[in-house]
Amino acid sequence: MTQPERQAWDVVVVGAGGAGLRAAIEAREQGARTAVICKSLFGKAHTVMAEGGIAASMGNVNEGDNWQVHFRDTMRGGKFLNDWRMAELHAREAPDRVWELETWGALFDRTADGRISQRNFGGHEYPRLAHVGDRTGLELIRTLQQKIVSLQQEDFREFGDHEARLKVFQECTITRVLKDESRGEDGGAVSGVFAYERESGRFFVIESPAVVLATGGIGKSFKVTSNSWEYTGDGHALALLAGARLTNMEFVQFHPTGMVWPPSVKGILVTESVRGDGGVLRNSDGKRFMFDYVPDVFKDKYAKTEEEGDRWYEDADNNRRPPELLPRDEVARAINAEVKAGRGSPHGGVFLDVSTRMPAETIRRRLPSMHHQFKELADVDITAEPMEVGPTCHYVMGGVWVEPDTAQARGVTGLYAAGEVAGGMHGSNRLGGNSLSDLLVFGRRAGLHAAQYALGLGGGRPAVDPGTVDAAADEALRPFSAGAGAGEQTAGDSGENPYTLHQELQTTMNDLVGIIRRGGEMTEALQQLARLRARARRAGVEGHRQFNPGWHLALDLRNMLLVSECVARAALEREESRGGHTREDHPEMDRQWRRVNLLCRLADGGDDTPFGKEPAGDAAAGPGRGRIELVRHTTPHIRRDLLALFEKDELAKYLPDEELFQ
């Protein structure tokens, strides 16, 4: 096979969302020649969809706020499973990351004295989310995009070439991170990436000692989701295949409020700002049911009556917040329970109402996209009637297991991960607004350390082995000779339809590893995943390589199946309920599980592709054998000065005794 074209860069960033762009800006400013690769057009990454805001304790609206309070809220939200060092770095650095956006041209909504306005959100003690109406993600991505353009303009002035030191390869997909086995830690060191261009189907290789994964989430493995097509868990899978481990994969966030009607829009997000700004949840009896669902750990932090909750919007210092603003996992479970008890709305959700809570004019000003979205897609005027909402798969807390300070994937030299693809920061449940800040804080750190590592290597860089490039090309071309991989192709057999496989996968995950989980169902899910995996080896496509979505999907299936298996396996193993993970058969949170992190890694022979060392026989594809194995890891004790930020009584709810009295 002829070898694909090669280019050399210092740092490759996979992904052009908030995390990827921030990483690229940093790497380039450190002096590294940086390539950014993304599946869709520049400026369209999933981050563009974020609505409510970005959390940072600037204290512009309530002076009581500071990083310690933000840290506390984040740990509580994650039920203390968070990597505390990441949570600390995040809370400390978020304000600087937001302010810096203003110097790049961002225009946030303002307070009366001209500072950045901040809004309330679930789980945040003070108004903390910097925002632009309900299109904060668009502002974030556009600002970073325009900063990249401004750096390119600088390079043009200096070198006569916009892309001399920072280039965006848009509509290109990475299918493999390449390694040089002879270098770095035991598994070898990163030497580059293998990619195809969506437009032409052409393959290419970028040689680079440092690769930053910033590929976002995994929601497209679930049927009802707020996520876009890009969320096929590519970065999670690329990391696994490159020898990294994933942590916290059992924790998937179901956002409590997605649209439920009409069916074609089911899952599209209804931003939490609707509740932050005063919207309330009601069941079919007209009751504000959230008052019945305040769990013990939060009892003294939330209003007991509607009157108190309503007063809080005006006077937060002397009243407690309404329970509609509990962390997402609590609200999602409550909605689920109401619907199950027969008190749902006509289309199987509950009612979310702003129309009786604020004047129409205010709604249109503060929630313009929601107003637009419901009017255009559901014929509902939210200034006059309630919305119908229900839980939707929204965010994955789990991800690449990284070093908190450097964002390096533990144990893989040259690999970094930031943003939704990285794990640990949010523990078992992410607070709203904490993702956008996470992207910037750890995106910057990943870019910084990737650049320092790459530049520090000098000339002796890890090499790209032509054999692995051939294997990557074989793997990517397999769908065009469907069935051949499994050795059972017959003439005229065009293989399995990738769209059908994808739909079956989504149904499996949605129904068997969804918001409420049971041991038996997850065991069944694992069996179904194994069968789907065997069939996916025969996924076939028609047509040619030029912009062929069927082919792209066939390749994405590998990633979705790997990641889904991680979720199902870890969820089956964790026999407790915590944050985004709810077991009907183990409904309580168990303090002993607080220090257990479940790590997923590729099992021996798990790479059943032309790449894998062990050729995959039928046994490898059979239901008995998975491609993922779990390892238990004990998390380090939380640093004392951070523990001291909490009351002993509160800690006793979360931490096992030996940790309390360490």
**Which of 204, 229, 313, 611 is in the footprint of another protein by CB under 8 A?**
229
Tokens (6 digits) for 495 = 């293989």
Site pattern 214..233 for ligand FAD (x: CB under 6 A):
xxx---------xx--x---
* Binding characters for another protein, 483-502, by CB under 8 A (x = yes): --------------xxxx--
Name the minimum Å distance from CB 132 to another protein.
Answer: 7
Residue 14 touches which of ligand FAD, another protein, none (Cβ within 5-8 Å per kind):
ligand FAD
Both tokens of 118, joined, read 């901040």
Contact code string over 5-44 relative to ligand FAD, x by CB under 6 A: ---------xxxxxxx----------------xxxx----
Spatial distance between the Cα atoms of 186 and 182, rounded to a whole number of angstroms = 9
> Does residue 544 have an active-site annotation?
no
Tokens 């290109």 correspond to: 172
3-state SS, residue 457: coil
Window 534-573: contact mask with another protein (x via CB under 8 A): -------xxxx-xxxxxx----------------------
Q: Which stretch binds another protein (CB under 8 A): 181-189, 214-222, 228-236, 352-360?
A: 228-236
CA–CA distance, 261 with 349 (Å, rounded to integer): 9
95 binds ligand FAD per the rule CB under 6 A: no
182, two tokens: 């002879």
Q: Active site residue: 275, 449, 533, 569, which one?
A: 275
Q: Which is nearer to ligand FAD, 12 or 630 (CB)?
A: 12
The strands making up 189-197's β-sheet, listed across from edge to edge, are 5-8, 203-207, 189-197, 172-180
**Contacts of 43 by beta carbon, 8 Å cutoff, 6+ apart:** 16, 141, 142, 145
Residue 579's CB is within 10 A of a number of other CB atoms, namely 27
Q: How many residues bind another protein (CB under 8 A)?
A: 70
Binding another protein (rule: CB under 8 A), the pick from 139, 180, 250, 338 is 139
C-beta of 274 vs 412, nearer to ligand FAD? 274
The answer to whether 537 is a known catalytic residue is no
Contacts by residues 283-286 (CB-CB < 8 Å, ≥ 24 positions apart)? 283/338, 283/343, 283/344, 283/350, 283/351, 284/343, 284/344, 284/345, 284/350, 284/351, 285/343
3-state secondary structure 384-437: CCCEEEEEEEEEECCEECECCCCCEECCCECEEECHHHECCCCCCCCCCCHHHH
Please name which of 224, 198, 176, 243 lies closest in space to residue 558, comparing C-alpha atoms.
176
Could you tell me how many residues of this chain bind ligand FAD (CB under 6 A)? 44
| Residue placing its CB nearer to another protein in the complex, 171 or 470 | 171
- Among 378, 431, 529, 536, contact with another protein (rule: CB under 8 A): 378
| Residue 326 binds which of another protein, ligand FAD, none (CB < 5-8 A, kind-dependent) | none
Contact yes or no for 211/14 (Cβ under 8 A): yes
| Residues of span 145-164 touching another protein by CB under 8 A | 146-147, 149-150, 152-153, 156, 162
- DSSP secondary structure, 471-535, as one string: HHHHHHHGGGGTTGGGT---TT---B-HHHHHHHHHHHHHHHSSSSB-HHHHHHHHHHHHHHHHH
Q: How far is CA 583 from CA 229, 522, 574, 629, 653, in A?
A: 28, 10, 9, 21, 19
- Applying CB under 6 A, among 278, 432, 483, 498 the residue interacting with ligand FAD is 432
Q: Omega into 262 within 30° of 0, i.e. cis?
A: yes
Q: What is the closest distance, in whole angstroms, from the C-beta atom of residue 286 to another protein in the complex? A: 26
Cα 498 to Cα 657: distance, rounded to the nearest angstrom: 50
Rounded distance between C-alpha atoms, residue 1 and residue 610, angstroms: 14
Site string for another protein, 238-267 (x = CB under 8 A): -----------------------xxxxx--
**Interface with ligand FAD (CB under 6 A), residue from 35, 49, 335, 628:** 49
Binding mask 322-361 for another protein (x = CB under 8 A): ----------------------------------------
* Catalytic residue chosen out of the listed positions 119, 142, 255, 533: 255
Say how far apart CA 439 and CA 217 lie, in whole Å: 12
- For residues 265 to 294, the per-residue mask of contacts with ligand FAD, x marking binding by CB under 6 A and - elsewhere, is ----x-------------------------
Q: Which does 42 bind (CB under 5 to 8 A by kind): ligand FAD, another protein, none?
A: another protein
C-beta separation of 412 from 190 below 8 A:
yes
Pick what 234 binds: ligand FAD, another protein, none; C-beta below 5 to 8 Å, kind-dependent.
ligand FAD
User: 18-29 and 136-159 are packed helices; what angle lies between their axes, rounded to 10 degrees?
Assistant: 30
Q: Name residue, tokens 């739909």.
A: 503
Q: Which is nearer to ligand FAD, 434 or 528 (CB)?
A: 434
Host H or E run for residue 162: none
Nearest distance from C-beta of residue 268 to another protein, angstroms:
5
Q: Which does 597 bind (CB under 5 to 8 A by kind): ligand FAD, another protein, none?
A: none
From the list ligand FAD, another protein, none, partner contacted by residue 25 (C-beta under 5 to 8 A by kind): none
Non-local (6+) Cβ contacts of 5 within 8 A are 202, 203, 204, 205
Which amino acids are annotated catalytic? 255, 275
Which residues make up the interface to another protein (CB under 8 A)?
Answer: 40-46, 48-49, 58, 95-96, 99-100, 102-105, 107, 109-110, 113-115, 132-133, 135, 138-139, 142, 146-147, 149-150, 152-153, 156, 162, 199, 228-230, 261-265, 268-269, 369, 372-373, 376-378, 497-500, 503, 541-544, 546-551
State the residues that interact with ligand FAD by CB under 6 A.
14-20, 37-40, 45-47, 49-54, 136-137, 173-174, 214-216, 226-227, 230, 234-235, 269, 394-395, 419-421, 432-436, 439
